[in-house]
Chains A and B, each alone.
Chain A
């Protein structure tokens, strides 16, 4: 099955990229934009067949490698 790990900066951590994109969107006329935050989406294919086990493994992968837990948080979604 497939695990989709979404990695985003923790709330409160400065997102320079999001800030610059928000400014550029304003310049393009999207004046309603108040905040932009940028994250990563990582898709992991695994031979694991048990959704709960796959979820637990993906969380461990995120903690150990995929996310920098100093500044990033993550969410795991299991897709059959």
Chain B
């Protein structure tokens, strides 16, 4: 798998993502500064977490309008795989690659804690190393992760099976208290219609080493490495 991590000014989880990808793929991903526009040869483009442009104006708004985004759109249009985590998810939404919006957390405070996620479908390059309905733990850390979309959009997402992960209790129930940021229908991550673009708020890349508390996040990266192996 040839993976590239796009770094916008203010992105800060690129190192975490590089560790997780290198661990799964066996080789270090390419780091791509946002002014580059050449994504040739990449199987997977990752937009990691952080605070691109300080999260000023709207989270992800300015990064979504920078030169490399046209290249990412073209990559996605060719069927290339795109993963956006946290700020990366916000950027994909601002760029129109995924629907909806990410609002301020319902508590109006930054939330840094562990959450439990349920895998909603497994026939994707991102999730096929999990069992359907599997529940895994993941750190999350964001101020604007409250997923919102209008009802027709939500119904379409659900109807087409494009909800990838939901916030649940440790036992797998999608309760209100399990969804601390207030996301509608407990949505934590969504897919594009061709299921090659995934955006999610939590940080599975920060839970890929027993030393850091667990390996719950590994299936995402192992799944990608297996699916995108040359």
A and B directly contacting (CB within 8 A): yes
Count class of interface residues, chain A: under 10
Q: Pick the contact of B56 from A17, A27, A28 — CB < 8 Å?
A: A17
Q: List 24 A-B contacts (CB under 8 A).
A: A16-B54, A16-B56, A17-B54, A17-B56, A17-B57, A20-B53, A20-B54, A20-B56, A20-B57, A20-B62, A21-B56, A21-B57, A21-B62, A23-B53, A24-B53, A24-B57, A24-B62, A24-B65, A24-B66, A27-B66, A27-B67, A28-B65, A38-B56, A38-B57
The 7 closest A-B pairs by CB, nearest first: A17-B56, A24-B62, A20-B56, A20-B53, A20-B54, A21-B57, A28-B65
Chain B, 6-65, CB within 8 A of any chain A CB? 53-54, 56-57, 62, 65
Chain A residues lying within 8 Å of B65, measured Cβ to Cβ, are 24, 28
Interface centre among B53, B54, B56, by most chain A C-beta atoms within 10 angstroms, is: B56
Question: How many Å lie between the Cα of A28 and that of B57 in the bound state?
Answer: 15
Chain A residues lying within 8 Å of B67, measured Cβ to Cβ, are 27
Count class of interface residues, chain B: under 10
Chain A, 27-55, CB within 8 A of any chain B CB? 27-28, 38
Question: How many Å lie between the Cα of A23 and that of B54 in the bound state?
Answer: 12
Question: How many Å lie between the Cα of A20 and that of B67 in the bound state?
Answer: 16
Chain A residues lying within 8 Å of B53, measured Cβ to Cβ, are 20, 23-24
Q: List 20 additional A-B contacts (Cβ < 8 Å) besides A16-B54, A20-B54.
A: A16-B56, A17-B54, A17-B56, A17-B57, A20-B53, A20-B56, A20-B57, A20-B62, A21-B56, A21-B57, A21-B62, A24-B53, A24-B57, A24-B62, A24-B65, A24-B66, A27-B67, A28-B65, A38-B56, A38-B57
Shortest CB–CB separation between residue A14 and chain B, in angstroms?
12
Residues 56-94 of chain B, each 1 if its beta carbon lies under 8 Å from chain A, else 0:
110000100111000000000000000000000000000
Shortest CB–CB separation between residue A40 and chain B, in angstroms?
13
Shortest CB–CB separation between residue B79 and chain A, in angstroms?
28
Shortest CB–CB separation between residue A42 and chain B, in angstroms?
16
